[in-house]
Amino acid sequence: MQINRSMLLRGSYAGIGDYVALTKPRVMSLVVFTALVGLMVAPGDIDPFAGAVALLCIAAGAGAAGALNMWYDADIDAVMARTAMRPIPSGRVSRPEALVFGLTLGSCAILALGTLLNMAAAALLAFTIFFYVVVYTMWLKRRTPQNIVIGGAAGALPPVIGWVAATGSVGIEPLILFLIIFLWTPPHFWALSLNLAGEYARAGVPMLPVVAGKAETKRQILLYTVVLAATSLTPWALGFAGAIYGAAAAMLGAVMIFLSWQVRRSNDTERRPARHLFVFSMLYLVLLFGVLLMDTVPSVQSH
């Protein structure tokens, strides 16, 4: 499917749902959840108003980044079956409209966070949007198979933003949460790209399976997963999460390693092992951070 230039430039008859789709709501929900964990595990009492403002601004910032990503990648999205029905390539939203929407939403999020909470959190949100849109989308994605590895830093920053919104400073705890998401990102996306290598190749995106082959991608997935499983135990080892979290992290990590090993052993025609790993990896992060939230918040509030 070739994208029609007029589809990108003309006006549109977009509905609210199309603009919601531009914000990548599924990605946004994960961003907001990890930011909530960073906010809640931060020391001190959490003011409900401040917490709500922080989460709304982070959600808007994530949505802006998603819209700007779709604005820039409309040509790629049009040639991939997975993304061809997104608002821009399908003709429901024009490219200029998506650009204005993303810039407006992002600017409002940054200004509101800086005005109502603190400038440190606003600056970090601005950096995150910049990193995702400029460094990852515009620079890395079409140039290097390490696009997901380096670009994953943007998706790993929300718990740090949540922590900074609550405290005004950075501690070791949010940096560990950052590292966990950073290490989680490559096996998560590479598991998806294994089954979509042909589409990425046609779109000219140098994902690892396209450039290095599936065997090397599977090896890298297993390597990152082992390091991720070990790193996920750090909150328990350092004492800011309890035994319940430690046990959950060990079990979840074991399942991730097992599924990654299944992918490593699979042949190139098998799609199911990579699909299973991709689906479970989303559940893994939600469960890991959910248990961390339940295991740490009572002890934080008791202090």
Looking at the structure, tell me whether residues 128 and 188 fall in a common domain: no
CB-neighbour burial class of residue 38 (10 A; exposed 0-12, middle 13-18, buried 19+): buried
Task: Read off the CATH number of the domain in which 100 is found.
Answer: 1.10.357.140
pLDDT at residue 21 in the model:
96
Looking at the structure, tell me whether residues 101 and 220 fall in a common domain: no
- Given a cut of 60, whether residue 6 has pLDDT beyond it is no
Tokens matching residue 301: 């509030």
Residues 177 and 240: beta-carbon distance below 8 Å: no
Looking at the structure, tell me whether residues 31 and 154 fall in a common domain: yes
Looking at the structure, tell me whether residues 16 and 134 fall in a common domain: yes
Looking at the structure, tell me whether residues 44 and 180 fall in a common domain: no
| Mean pLDDT rounded to a whole number for the chain | 92
pLDDT at residue 297 in the model:
66
Predicted confidence band of residue 9 (pLDDT cuts 50, 70, 90): very low
The residue out of 169, 204, 237 marking a domain boundary is: 169
Which residue range(s) make up the domain with 259?
Answer: 171-303
Average pLDDT over residues 277-303: 85
Query: Using one digit for the tens of pLDDT, what is the confidence trace for 150-190?
Result: 999 999 999 999 999 999 999 999 999 999 999 999 999 99
- Given a cut of 80, whether residue 4 has pLDDT beyond it is no
DSSP 3-state of 6:
helix
Give how many domains the chain has, as a whole number. Answer: 2
CA distance 125 to 35: 11
Looking at the structure, tell me whether residues 139 and 190 fall in a common domain: no
The residue out of 122, 146, 169 marking a domain boundary is: 169
Looking at the structure, tell me whether residues 96 and 37 fall in a common domain: yes
For residue 32, give the nearest of 147, 134, 109, 133 by alpha carbon.
109
For 14, 134, 218, the CA distances from 259, given in Å and listed in that order, are 41, 33, 11
pLDDT at residue 299 in the model:
55
Query: Using one digit for the tens of pLDDT, what is the confidence trace for 206-219?
Result: 999 999 999 999 99
- Could you tell me the pTM of the whole model? 0.92
CA distance 127 to 13: 32
Neighbours of 271 (CB within 10 A): 11
Q: How many CA atoms lie within 13 A of 147 on its CB side?
A: 24
- Given a cut of 50, whether residue 7 has pLDDT beyond it is no
Predicted confidence band of residue 298 (pLDDT cuts 50, 70, 90): low
- Given a cut of 70, whether residue 194 has pLDDT beyond it is yes
Looking at the structure, tell me whether residues 198 and 87 fall in a common domain: no
pLDDT at residue 13 in the model:
64
pLDDT at residue 115 in the model:
96
Backbone angles phi, psi at 62, to 5 degrees: -65, -40
Looking at the structure, tell me whether residues 265 and 132 fall in a common domain: no
Predicted confidence band of residue 203 (pLDDT cuts 50, 70, 90): very high
Cα–Cα–Cα angle for 75, 77, 81, nearest 5°? 135
CA distance 67 to 52: 22
- Given a cut of 80, whether residue 24 has pLDDT beyond it is yes
Query: Using one digit for the tens of pLDDT, what is the confidence trace for 55-92?
Result: 999 999 999 999 999 999 999 999 999 999 999 999 99
CA distance 149 to 136: 10
- 278-284 contacts: CB < 8 A, separation 24 or more? 278/188, 278/191, 278/192, 280/255, 280/256, 281/184, 281/187, 281/188, 281/191, 281/256, 282/30, 282/188, 284/184, 284/252, 284/255, 284/256
Average pLDDT over residues 255-277: 95
Looking at the structure, tell me whether residues 36 and 152 fall in a common domain: yes
Query: Using one digit for the tens of pLDDT, what is the confidence trace for 82-128?
Result: 999 999 999 999 999 999 999 999 999 999 999 999 999 999 999 99
